Structure 1
């Protein structure tokens, strides 16, 4: 029986650029106002997911760069 990875361990379902673009849209919509409390909360939660996704992509990129770059002093 296989376990489903925790959300923070799962691979992102969007590219970095897609997640960043959607996150920017979420921020614009929240800043524009005029939403109900429930709509605002749902957008905030989506924004948090997208921010985590972007951070995951950036962390992976940093790891790949570190692996490809020789350590100082070698």
Structure 2
């Protein structure tokens, strides 16, 4: 399960930490216990990144749907059109 600290991570922070975890795993030289801990951390970070990307996709899809409906995102947010 993802911790509150992980939920507060921005996409770039989580991605950068995930890159470092992968680098350390690929480099080897860690004990089995360390490798398992790194793997678990990597899984948590991947979930954080996935949530950010899914949220961005949902926002983009909503903006595109508004555009197709003839509204700009600003118009749809206020409900007023000139």
- Same fold flag (TM > 0.5): yes
1:66 and 2:51 correspond? no
1:50 and 2:45 correspond? yes
Which structure dedicates a bigger proportion of its chain to helix? 2
When the two structures are aligned, how many residues end up with a matched partner? Answer: 67
1:3-61 Cα distance to aligned partner (Å, 9 max, x none): xxx74xxx822000000000000000000000000000000000000000000000000
Alpha-carbon separation, structure 1, partners of 2:68 and 2:58? 19
Counterparts of residues 22-41 of structure 1 (less than 5 Å): 22-41=17-36
1:12 and 2:13 correspond? no
TM-score normalised according to structure 2 size: 0.72
Unaligned runs of 5+ residues in structure 1 are 1-5
Pair 28,68 (structure 1): closer, same or farther in 2 beyond 3 Å: same
* Structure 1 consecutive aligned stretches of length 4 or more whose deviation exceeds 4 Å: 71-74
